[in-house]
Structure 1
Amino acid sequence: MLEDFIQFVRKENLFQADQKILLAVSGGIDSVIMAKLFSLAKFNFGIAHVNFSLRGEESLADEVFVKKMAKTLKVPYYTICFDTKAFAEKEKLSTQMAARILRYDWFEEIRQKEGYDFIATAHHQMDSAETVLMNLSRGSGLAGFHGIPIKNGHIIRPMAFANQEQIFDFVVSQKLAWREDSSNASTKYQRNFIRHEIIPKFIELHPHFEQSVAQSSAKIASIEKWMQAEFQIWKQERCQLDAQGNLFVQLTDKDLAEKEEVMRQQLLLAYHFTADAMGHILEAGDQQVGKIFESPSHTLNIDRQQWVISPKDQSEFKPILVDEEAEEVDLGHQILHIDFGENEKGFTPPTGSHVACLDAETLHFPLEIRKYQEGDWFCPLGMNQKKLISDFLTDKKIPLNLKKNVQLVLSKGSVVWVMGHRIDNRNKVTDKTEGLCILTLENKHVASRASATE
């Protein structure tokens, strides 16, 4: 399989041997194999893992598994935890669509920030066949017939050559371990229903179903590739991106010709607008100045002879990262002050729910601040065993509406402070502690009143 993998990368010109590739690794069988192949081929890569906070402790265990794998492979590791349910509810999306938007936006952030050339996902032939059937059921048009593209901008699929038999043979030969996502067995999700109920029927009719779909998709993909080239030319002529990520799309004064309409459709699809919204936007053209349309990730404003497409602020669904040089962090209604010091003789750690006095040597920066999720746990101060934070908050009789807003401070994925409540026992100050890190919460109205009296 390794030779097939290397040949496929070369044949499809996915990337050059000296380029940096960011691998999207969930911990499942496909992404684990992809990471192993990249390692055996001695390509330059890093691993990115997303915790969608959807499966409690199972999600946390996936994160730990991938982190250990990255350490074993001696490659850079990046992780993030999203409040996927909150994002899905706000944008009225399915959980799977919400997760897709969040993860690809974050992958692109890491790619640009860390200097990676491409983002690799582990989609293979069966994934592509599933996607074709899903797209057919939605009426997605020509683009839906090629399944998952092998290369799309900065996204590459180096596993697209592989079928199920090759995957399982490689796992056995390499004696690889992986994590099984329990939600994959549920047919309440459309993809899983197609995977477990529909595709087996096709395979009964035609045993080489996935390879046949792959061949048909490749033929259609060549047409789509030509269309994408035309789209890029159109985009360069009509679109301008500013430093804030706002896209200005110049509209022609002519009637909407077929090619122009297709190009605009391609653009709107890239920014996650639904078919219904696209119909209204195209119908409006540039005639309804000031009209606003929204996708889960962007807002489109019809301006004079142009569209202005702006990215939405999704920071509320992402953790806040705190660098070692930071002195304070704005948390909305509160300010978190960060101070460092030495554990001098006679020092007594400050107490109170608003302050956390920690052993600085136990911390790894940047620290992460995010809302608590089901499955999060820590070892409360005074205890040497773990406790679910949901149980800890229940024991403290925290009302449900307040419980949802409790925030955590984490170091390398481990909770060090349930903010406003208790620190983790593993990060407490002891007689052996040399350096201190003191985190202090202050309500903004108190801070502003204090500064006014100075």
Structure 2
Amino acid sequence: MGKQNIFQHARGQKECQATPPLKNRMRGICCRKLSLSRKHDTFNHGRNCNGMSFIYDIIDKVRLNVLKYGLVAPGERVVVAVSGGPDSVCLLDILYSLLQELEMELAVAHFDHGLRPGEDQEETRFVASLAAARKLPFETEKAHIDVAGGSLEERARKARYRFLERVRIRLSAQKIAVGHQRNDQAETVLMRLLRGSGTGGLSGIAPIRDGKIIRPILDLSRSEVESYLKERGLQFKTDPTNRDEKFLRNHIRSLLIPSLQQYQPRVIDILAQTADILREDNHYLEVVSGEWLASHSKVSQKGLVEIGVTALLELPLAVRKRVIRHCIKTVAGGLSGVSLKHIHAVHQLAAGRRSQGTLCLPKGLVVDRVYDRLSFRMGPAARASDYFYLLKKPGRFTLEEAACVLFMEEMPREKGSIRESDPWTAHLDAERIRYPLVLRNFRPGDKFIPLGMRGHKKVKDLFIDRKVPKDLRSRLPILLSGDEILWICGMMLGEVAKVSPRTEKILKIKIVKSLHHERGEKG
């Protein structure tokens, strides 16, 4: 049977023995007519009036959400992602109840992560039975998750979405429906808040993403989902990994949110509302930055994007950073591997006093500044020895690239002079530096004012004078405040933040070689 016939066959079904849909599919239902239509509905069998009212209210809430955000257009095909858990079972049942009213076509897709042998197979059979009971097309696939790189949770998520996209293309569907609900939204906002996200991250889960990933039950709470399943008599599977406390989301769900609810019982609703507000604000800023970029950038046939530094710096900071993100997305095709520290580094390149410089970002992306032009391009990947870290405050920092550990401590200056006897220890005037400090290796064109001198000297010339081997030059750490070199570690201090008789507080920096590559937090 062809793909179109399969979908038409599914849409034409009028009965489902396991979970009968609404005969009228909620068409034209409103609050003042519910009492007239419910007594004839198949949901009524064996159910009290209150339970029926609740079921209708939940379905109507999802229907209004679909219409509000334009999640599904008439005639569209929707792949419903069903894991077998409560959220996805609820999602499937409600969409099936709205199938004719919304004039859509449904298929069921289930991804076997292969992480729980035996249980995964049972879940696959269970979801297949849900699709068969509704006579809907069913697609499944067992995972082949790459064991390298990233967390297991994140790799599983990416593999699942790749599978869903393959199914969508194979079935010529327009949308993929997933079962995120309001509690998921609150958990996501808290997770991103703890990780230091901006307005984009704190916008949480969008009702529709990339024009094809839709979340019809996002306005339902977890308790509403569970009550709906109970009233409908629907079975579901429970994933034991949802209780595994090695995952941050589970900690937030079981510990943090219950604690917050002691102070504000409506914290779930408030966090979801906050996400909606921030999503609107973020959308506006994204539109503004996109329009600015369209009128102020040059895009070559080779994929190079070029913008003016002066014009960029005239923008508000929030718009500036979004312009940089747009440039990176345009050239690299996305923001994979790019974090806030990289956006900040590009902004420093543009706002700094140096008229020329180059920055190598993940995935082979290169940003060049040449006087008043800032260009983004794909180029040769940075050398393995290149590194760039932001030090936001004093503390301990492990630099694996140079096999050393750096200790920074602020302290009041003691009476008497400071003698620099150890080349791997430095004392700086803490009042004359600004955070975050930059710790990186040598870059061509680096200049600094050596301690006790007035004029600049090329770092390359210092390396030549000291006969530093070329392979060591690329590993030797250099500490900067803004664009000014404070210390070429192990070799020479700069003049810019030297300790003077008026210094009251010093920053002591000590570097210790680590033969064991001690692990520590970077940044």
TM band (smaller chain): 0.5 to 0.7
Q: Distance in 2 between matches of 1:4 and 1:190?
A: 30
The 1:281–1:38 alpha-carbon spacing in structure 2 relative to 1, beyond 3 Å, is same
Shift of 1:261: 2.9
When structure 1 is superposed on structure 2, of 143-152 and 110-119 the one drifting more is 110-119
Matched, 1:263 2:323: yes
Q: Gaps spanning 5+ residues in structure 2: where? A: 1-57, 351-355, 369-373, 381-523
Q: Is residue 273 of structure 1 aligned with residue 331 of structure 2?
A: no
Aligned counterparts of 1:115 and 1:309: Cα–Cα separation in 2: 36
Match for residue 341 of structure 1?
Answer: none
Q: Match for residue 167 of structure 2?
A: 110
Q: Deviations for 1:347-384, whole angstroms, at most 9, x for unmatched residues?
A: xxxxxxxxxxxxxxxxxxxxxxxxxxxxxxxxxxxxxx
Q: SS of 2:107's equivalent?
A: strand
Match of 2:141 in 1: 80
**In 1, are the aligned partners of 2:78 and 2:173 still within 8 Å (CA)?**
yes
What is the CA–CA distance in structure 2 between the aligned matches of 1:106 and 1:232, rounded to whole Å?
A: 31
Q: Please state how far the C-alpha of 1:272 moved relative to its aligned partner.
A: 4.8
* Partners of 1:183 and 1:54 in 2: CA distance: 10
Is 1:169 the counterpart of 2:227? The answer is yes
Quick check: 1:56 aligned with 2:125? no
Deviations 1:112-146 (A, max 9, x none): 44322222211111000001110110001112222
Partner Cα distance (1:288, 1:209) in 2: 46
Q: What is the distance in 2 between the residues matched to 1:5 and 1:56?
A: 34
Report deviation, 1:210.
Answer: 1.1
> Counterpart in 1 of 2:132?
71
Q: Report the counterpart of residue 307 of structure 1 in structure 2.
A: 377
Task: State how far apart, in whole Å, the 1-side matches of 2:165 and 2:379 are.
Answer: 18
Question: Which residue number in structure 2 is paired with residue 423 of structure 1?
Answer: none
Q: Deviations over 1:379-424 (max 9, x none)?
A: xxxxxxxxxxxxxxxxxxxxxxxxxxxxxxxxxxxxxxxxxxxxxx
How many Å separate the matches in 2 of 1:263 and 1:279? Answer: 12
Larger RCO: Structure 1 or Structure 2 (Cα < 8 Å, ≥ 6 residues apart)?
A: 1
Q: Distance in 2 between matches of 1:239 and 1:70?
A: 51
Larger radius of gyration: 2
In 2, distance between residues paired with 1:16 and 1:213?
A: 29
After superposition, the Cα gap between the structure-2 partners of 1:292 and 1:165, relative to the gap in structure 1 and judged at 3 Å, is closer
Q: Which runs of 5+ in 1 are unaligned?
A: 311-454
**What secondary structure does 2:307 align onto?**
coil
**Distance (Å, rounded) in 2 between the aligned partners of 1:121 and 1:241:** 38
What is the alpha-carbon distance in structure 1 between the residues aligned to residue 236 and residue 300 of structure 2? 41
Q: Distance in 2 between matches of 1:200 and 1:64?
A: 35
What TM-score results when the alignment is normalised by the length of structure 2? 0.51
Query: How far did 1:108 drift?
Result: 3.0
Q: Which segment is superposed worse, 36-45 or 274-283?
A: 274-283
CA contact (8 A) 1:248 1:309 kept: no
Alpha-carbon displacement from aligned partner over 1:29-72 (angstroms, at most 9, x marks no partner): 10111011111111322222222222222222222222222222
1:45-444 alignment runs, 5 A limit? 45-84=106-145, 86=147, 89=148, 91=149, 93-154=150-211, 155-230=213-288, 233=291, 248=303, 250-255=305-310, 256-257=312-313, 258=317, 259-265=319-325, 270-279=335-344, 288=358, 291=360, 293-294=362-363, 300=365, 305-308=375-378
Aligned counterparts of 1:135 and 1:57: Cα–Cα separation in 2: 34
- Superposed CA offset, 1:244-303 (max 9, x none): xxx9351324355443431333655743533445555666789548x5623xxxx64669
Letter in structure 2 aligned against 1:53:
G
Aligned in 2, Cα 1:47/1:249: closer, same or farther, shift over 3 Å?
Answer: farther
Determine helix, strand or coil for the equivalent of 1:191: helix
| Secondary structure of 2:262's aligned partner | helix
What fraction of aligned residue pairs are identical, expressed as a percent? 23
1:213-256 deviations in Å (ceiling 9; x for gaps) = 222222222112223434655687769899xxxx9351324355
Change in 2 beyond 3 A, CA 1:210/1:7: same
